[in-house]
Amino acid sequence: MKLPFLNAYLDSIGLPSFQKGCNFAAAGSTIHQATPTSVCPFSFDIQVNQFLHFKARVVELLAKGKRLDKYIPAVDYFSKGLYTFDIGQNDLAGAFYSKTIDQVLASIPKILEEFETGLRRLYDEGARNFWIHNTGPLGCLAQNVAKFGTDLSMLDELGCVSGHNQAAKLFNLQLHALCKKLQGDYTDSNITYVDIYTIKYSLIANYSRYGFEQPIMACCGVGGAPLNYNSGISCGQTKVINGTSVTAKACSDSTEYVNWDGIHYTEAANQYVSTQILTGKYSDPPFADKMPFLLDLKF
């Protein structure tokens, strides 16, 4: 879309400009409140608090004159802006390490209750345009196949862990219902639900049609086929395994892979996902007839 990347809220290097937006996302974050053992301390409630602090600080700085105008948004941007959300996958994926499938499924309403609380706080602060991604097929990530797919009966016809995808689908069903409820409650707002799961699962099911060669195997990792993934050594790391120094290196051509490091998608796969989002077909409400610009879609 030819838009710049957003500066991170906590970026302290150089002179970040927040005129075009601000990124509150953090790697490993969850909707559930973080605990001392959480991978990331910046859970959704903290991110919302950071936004509220950011907005208050912007208003305070704008009142001091125009000196900082090129770095911060105008006040009306907060009501006109697009608030985007893609969170929840880490809540589900992390829960499988200590809970049964039934316990994971039973935890979903509570997770979404916390998400709803955050969304309503943002609405109360003037947010009116919400763009909400559902969660992808986490059972198709090499990390989860390696850990939970050793029993082949746990895998579906694509080689994905069935229980993980079942949890993702139930989460998405309830998230969609929440979005419909918010659409009814906030008739002065635009609340768009985007079906990321269908886009990603379709890519994995039909990968060769879109020019990919590996739907699940990681590009950057160790171990080779079928997964090229080892939980003990992340992409780019060098470690001694069984007496031998091993480096998790990238494959020669990442455009052949859907998965980058066992958890995240490659740039090529993300480009496919984004072009599908921008068709408007996977959104509720759909927006295919309202596209204000033409895109040169690769796929």
- Residue among 185, 198, 47 at smallest CA distance from 115: 47
CA pair distance 88, 111, nearest whole angstrom: 8
Lowest mean pLDDT segment, chosen from 21-35, 36-50, 110-124, 277-291: 277-291
Q: How far apart are alpha carbons 154 and 267 in whole angstroms?
A: 29
**Cα–Cα distance between 161 and 296 in angstroms, integer?**
35
pLDDT value of residue 295: 60
Residues 67-79: pLDDT tens digits? Answer: 888 899 999 999 9
Provide the pLDDT confidence category of residue 296 given band limits of 50, 70 and 90.
Answer: low
Q: What is residue 161's DSSP assignment?
A: B
Average pLDDT of the residues in 279-292: 81
Alpha-carbon span 95 to 165, nearest angstrom: 13
Is 70 exceeded by the pLDDT of residue 293?
A: no
Instruction: Quote the pLDDT of residue 69.
Output: 87
Mean pLDDT value across residues 43-61:
96
Give the integer Cα–Cα distance in Å for 102 and 121: 31
- Residue pointed to by tokens 């003037």: 126
The residues near 53 (Cβ < 8 Å, ≥ 6 apart) are none
The residue with greater pLDDT, 293 or 107, is 107
| Tokens matching residue 117 | 């609380």
User: What is the distance, to the nearest Å, from the Cα of residue 172 to the centroid of all Cα atoms in its chain?
Assistant: 13
Q: Which sign, positive or negative, has the C-alpha torsion 138, 182, 129, 278?
A: positive
DSSP-assigned letters across all residues of 196-251: HHHHHHHHHHTGGGGT-SEEEEESSBSS-TTT---TTS-TT-EEEETTEEEE-BPP
Confidence check: pLDDT of 260 > 80? yes
At 246, is the pLDDT very low, low, confident or very high (cuts 50, 70, 90)? very high
Average pLDDT over residues 49-59: 96
Instruction: Identify the bridge partners of residue 84 per DSSP, sorted by sequence position.
Output: 131
The pLDDT score that the predictor gives to residue 70 is: 87
Cβ(213)–Cβ(254) below 8 Å: no
pLDDT in tens, 197-232: 999 999 999 999 999 999 999 999 999 999 999 999
φ, ψ at 8 (rounded to 5°): -70, 145
How far, in Å, CA of 129 to CA of 84, rounded? 9
Position 292 scores a pLDDT of 54
The mean pLDDT value for 264-275 works out to: 96
pLDDT band at 2 (very low <50, low <70, confident <90, very high): confident
Mean pLDDT of the 266-272 span: 97
Percent above pLDDT 90 for the chain? 86
Of 13 and 214, which is predicted with more confidence? 214
For residue 133, give the H/E element and its range: strand 129-133
Q: What DSSP assignment string belongs to 36-78? A: TT-S-S--HHHHHHHHHHHHHHHHHHHTT-STTTTTS--TTHH
**What pLDDT, on the 0 to 100 scale, is given for residue 14?**
81
- Which amino acid makes up residue 256? E
What pLDDT is stored for residue 13 in this prediction? Answer: 83
pTM: 0.94
Per-residue pLDDT at 81 exceeds 60 = yes
Q: Which residues pair with 218 in a beta bridge?
A: 259
Question: What is the pLDDT of the chain when averaged over all its residues?
Answer: 94
Determine the length of the chain. Answer: 299
Q: What is the mean pLDDT of residues 127-138?
A: 98
Instruction: Decide if pLDDT at 156 tops 80.
Output: yes
pLDDT value, residue 284: 95
Please determine, for residue 140, whether its predicted confidence score (pLDDT) is greater than 60: yes
